[in-house]
């Protein structure tokens, strides 16, 4: 049996893309090729410039079209001064542009994290740490020219060696992207409200790798990086609401499971450095992932974030907050993102911190009091837009009463922002004991609405997206009031604080929403006492066509668990608002004890 490579070998080789199995066997006409030496002026190349303190040296300047195949830098010298690994910066410019496409501290670029603390040699598809040296094999094609620069921002001379190997391309292939890499280091409090954006790009391209160094002196996190390993890692592409790549743990996004536990490296991923502590000094982690087998592609833009706001598996938010205290839970992230773009114009890199900060194990924590940090807020403009859009699209419901007595009544609501795949749904009174038993299997035994013929169950989509129930009605010219009968999930009251949610009542008058009330709802038993009745005077809107808005949002002490709400009636009643319905639950205050996402 003969196996044949499916690609057109010659075409791929000539285009600079190569074929991993067959390219080595192709006899090609020799073109311009070679390597660019730099820095080491102690031998034949006396003209080479040394990398002196606070100076830059161009280690390669090559005319295109061509492709860089290897960038090599001496590592042994890196350890002669503590500030070399992050005090020496690698920059690469394409096609004569003045803005660098690559701007990364040298050690971090070569996946030598935590200020060059990687102790074991390793070899991956893109990077190697070998005895005495770093090697990078990422192919970097360019049309007109390449300039590779080392910038020494320290007070010491770097006595080392750098080498760049390249070969000319027969012609420029417009399908080829330009290589980029950027560095982003920051310190932040990791709390139940934290969401951090680590990388953003505008344009067309794809991510091919990430390298992250993490350090923390928080005792709760320093043992195997508990909680740090959590967080939903999301890659949002082209302004999409849903992330096509979403990992339910940081370690999963690097292809590991159940935390970061030991040093290991392979062709596509690795934990290159790992140190546990008890919090007396920073615990440290260096990890990388290459997306060489499936790049994360985007046509217009991409955002990479980690969101810890949904973590309730290992400890509830109140306990979590208590354990880290009012100003604890600090973590330090230093991230390198490797990617290709269709333009050589360069990238707006984050400013690099001063060398003394850059080379520290952990950045200094802010000394100012942390006031309101990470308190999550809903996007009111987005909600308002959804309400206005529904108002324009809905027909007026001529029946002011809606007691959700039948499935058809649920269809009289416009429901926006419900949890996908499960909500909304209609629950009717079970007709037989057998039906009640069947319901007990899927979570709603018996009758969740005693004395009522049906209810609609809703759940918000996520922390950022509340669920809206909207009715469009023409109010009477005389006095009337909004009558709402509802409860929380009555079958999970045994878990206090995990099943509460926030309900908000509003009226959209064609211009804007007037919010009348906001309540924290806690579920009661599946009895009449477990249901709440609320009334709201609508006399200020008499005679108008309005949208009645009932919003169900995540909230309460645990902010996200089962935020399910049951609504038995949302009606307009003609007449005076009864005193009995003016009674209100204690307002919950802010929607979350939570805060705006870090950008």
Domain ranges of the chain: 1-30, 31-358, 380-581
**Residues contacting residue 428 through CB under 8 Å, at least 6 positions apart:** 406, 407, 453, 454
**pLDDT digits over 508-565, tens only?**
999 999 999 988 888 877 777 788 899 999 999 999 999 999 999 987 766 777 789 9
Mean pLDDT of 424-453: 58
Distance CA 400, CA 283 (A): 62
**pLDDT digits over 344-376, tens only?**
999 999 999 999 999 998 998 876 544 344 434
Sign of CA dihedral 534, 539, 542, 545: negative
Distance CA 163, CA 132 (A): 14
Distance CA 309, CA 290 (A): 26
Task: Please check whether the two domains, 31-358 and 380-581, share a CATH topology.
Answer: yes
Place of tokens 């579920």: 523
Does CATH place domain 31-358 in 1.10.443.10? Answer: no
CA 13 to chain centroid, in Å, comes to 37
Half-sphere CA count of 54, side-chain side, radius 13 A: 2
Separation in Å, CA 593 to CA 253, 258, 589: 28, 29, 9
- Is the pLDDT higher at 282 or at 334? 334
Mean pLDDT of 93-101: 98
Mean pLDDT of 258-275: 92
Tokens of 189: 């409090």
Question: CA dihedral in degrees (295, 296, 301, 302; nearest 10)?
Answer: -130
Separation in Å, CA 194 to CA 220, 237, 472: 16, 21, 37
Tokens of 551: 């919003």
Place of tokens 């009645």: 548
Give me Rg for the CA atoms of the chain: 30
- Is the pLDDT higher at 316 or at 373? 316
The residue among 502, 114, 93 whose CA lies nearest residue 271 is 114
pLDDT value, residue 467: 95
Question: Is the pLDDT score of 267 beyond 60?
Answer: yes
**pLDDT digits over 157-171, tens only?**
998 999 999 999 999
- At 470, give phi and psi (nearest 5°): -130, 130
- Is the pLDDT higher at 185 or at 445? 185
Mean pLDDT of 285-306: 97
Distance CA 568, CA 570 (A): 7
DSSP β-bridge partners for residue 470: 414, 549
The residue among 236, 209, 234, 207 whose CA lies nearest residue 341 is 207
Mean pLDDT of 20-47: 78
SS3 473: strand
SS3 77: helix
Q: What CATH code would you report for 380-581?
A: 2.60.120.200
**Residues contacting residue 159 through CB under 8 Å, at least 6 positions apart:** 39, 50, 77, 80
pLDDT value, residue 49: 86
- Are 340 and 177 within 8 A, CB to CB? yes
- Is the pLDDT higher at 327 or at 499? 327
**Residues contacting residue 412 through CB under 8 Å, at least 6 positions apart:** 397, 399, 402, 471
pLDDT value, residue 255: 93
Q: Where residue 98 falls among pLDDT bands split at 50, 70, 90?
A: very high
Q: pTM for the full model?
A: 0.78
Separation in Å, CA 473 to CA 228, 272, 394, 416, 487: 49, 63, 10, 17, 24
Q: Where residue 325 falls among pLDDT bands split at 50, 70, 90?
A: confident
Place of tokens 């300039």: 147
Question: Is the pLDDT score of 410 beyond 50?
Answer: yes
- Report which secondary-structure segment, H or E, holds 421: none
DSSP-derived secondary structure letter, 23? G
Question: Is the pLDDT score of 2 beyond 60?
Answer: no
Distance CA 571, CA 575 (A): 13
DSSP β-bridge partners for residue 166: 34, 68
pLDDT value, residue 181: 99
DSSP-derived secondary structure letter, 519? E
pLDDT value, residue 558: 67
Please, which contacts does 524-528 make with residues 24 or more away whose CB atoms are closer than 8 Å?
Answer: 524/487, 524/488, 524/490, 524/493, 525/490, 525/493, 526/446, 526/447, 526/448, 526/450, 526/490, 526/491, 527/450, 527/490, 528/450, 528/451
pLDDT value, residue 112: 96
Alpha helices in 9-68 (DSSP H): 9-15
Sign of CA dihedral 264, 269, 274, 279: negative
- Are 556 and 497 within 8 A, CB to CB? yes
Q: Where residue 13 falls among pLDDT bands split at 50, 70, 90?
A: very low
Q: Where residue 441 falls among pLDDT bands split at 50, 70, 90?
A: very low
Question: Is the pLDDT score of 9 beyond 50?
Answer: no
Distance CA 139, CA 150 (A): 19
């Amino acid at each position: 049996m003969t196996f044949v490579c499916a690609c057109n070998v010659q075409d791929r080789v000539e285009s600079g893309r190569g074929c991993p199995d067959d390219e080595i066997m192709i006899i090609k006409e020799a073109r311009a090729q070679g390597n660019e030496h730099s820095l080491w002026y102690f031998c034949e190349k006396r003209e080479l410039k040394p990398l002196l303190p606070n100076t830059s040296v161009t280690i390669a300047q090559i005319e295109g079209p061509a492709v860089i195949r290897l960038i090599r830098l001496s590592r042994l010298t890196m350890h002669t001064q503590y500030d070399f690994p992050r005090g020496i910066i690698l920059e690469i410019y394409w096609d004569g542009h003045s803005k660098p496409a690559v701007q990364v501290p040298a050690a971090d670029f070569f996946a030598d994290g935590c200020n060059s603390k990687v102790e074991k040699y390793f070899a991956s598809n893109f990077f190697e740490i070998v005895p005495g040296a770093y090697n990078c094999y990422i192919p970097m094609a360019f049309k007109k020219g390449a300039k590779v620069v080392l910038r020494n921002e320290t007070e010491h001379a770097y006595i080392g060696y750098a080498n760049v190997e390249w070969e000319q391309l027969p012609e420029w292939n417009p399908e080829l992207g330009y290589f980029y890499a950027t560095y982003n280091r920051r310190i932040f409090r990791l709390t139940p409200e934290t969401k951090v954006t680590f990388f953003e790009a505008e344009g067309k391209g794809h991510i091919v790798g990430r390298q992250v160094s993490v350090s923390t002196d928080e005792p709760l996190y320093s043992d195997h990086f508990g909680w740090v390993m959590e967080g939903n890692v999301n890659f949002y592409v082209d302004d999409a609401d849903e992330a096509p790549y979403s990992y339910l743990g940081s370690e999963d996004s690097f292809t590991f499971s159940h935390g970061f536990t030991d040093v290991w490296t392979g062709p596509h991923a690795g934990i290159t450095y790992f140190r546990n502590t008890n919090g007396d000094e920073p615990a440290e982690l260096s990890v990388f992932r290459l997306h060489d087998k499936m790049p994360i592609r985007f046509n217009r833009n991409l955002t990479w974030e980690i969101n810890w706001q949904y973590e309730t598996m290992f400890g509830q938010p109140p306990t979590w907050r208590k354990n880290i205290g009012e100003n604890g839970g600090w973590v330090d992230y230093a991230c390198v993102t490797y990617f290709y773009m269709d333009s050589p114009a360069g990238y707006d890199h984050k400013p690099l911190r001063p060398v003394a900060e850059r080379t520290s194990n952990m950045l200094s924590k802010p000394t100012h009091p942390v006031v309101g940090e990470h308190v999550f807020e809903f996007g009111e403009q987005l909600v308002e837009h959804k309400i206005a859009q529904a108002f324009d699209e809905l027909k007026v419901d001529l029946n002011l009463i809606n007691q959700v007595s039948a499935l058809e009544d649920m269809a009289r609501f416009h429901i926006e922002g419900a949890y996908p795949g499960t909500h909304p749904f209609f629950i009717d009174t079970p007709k037989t004991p057998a039906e009640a038993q069947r319901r007990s299997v899927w979570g709603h035994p018996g009758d969740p609405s005693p004395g009522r013929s049906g209810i609609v169950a809703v759940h918000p989509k996520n922390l950022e997206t509340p669920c809206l129930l909207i009715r469009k009605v023409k109010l009477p010219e005389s006095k009337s009031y909004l009558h709402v009968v509802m409860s929380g999930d009555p079958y999970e009251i045994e878990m206090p604080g995990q099943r509460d949610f926030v309900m908000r009542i509003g009226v959209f008058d064609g211009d804007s929403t007037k919010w009348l009330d906001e309540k924290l709802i806690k579920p009661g038993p599946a009895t009449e006492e477990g249901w709440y009745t609320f009334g709201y005077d609508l006399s200020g809107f008499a005679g108008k066509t309005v949208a009645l808005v009932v919003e169900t949002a995540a909230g309460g002490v645990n902010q996200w668990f089962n935020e399910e709400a049951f609504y038995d009636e949302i009606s307009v009643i003609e007449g005076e608002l009864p005193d009995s319905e003016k009674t209100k639950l204690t307002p919950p205050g802010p929607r979350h004890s939570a805060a705006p996402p870090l950008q």
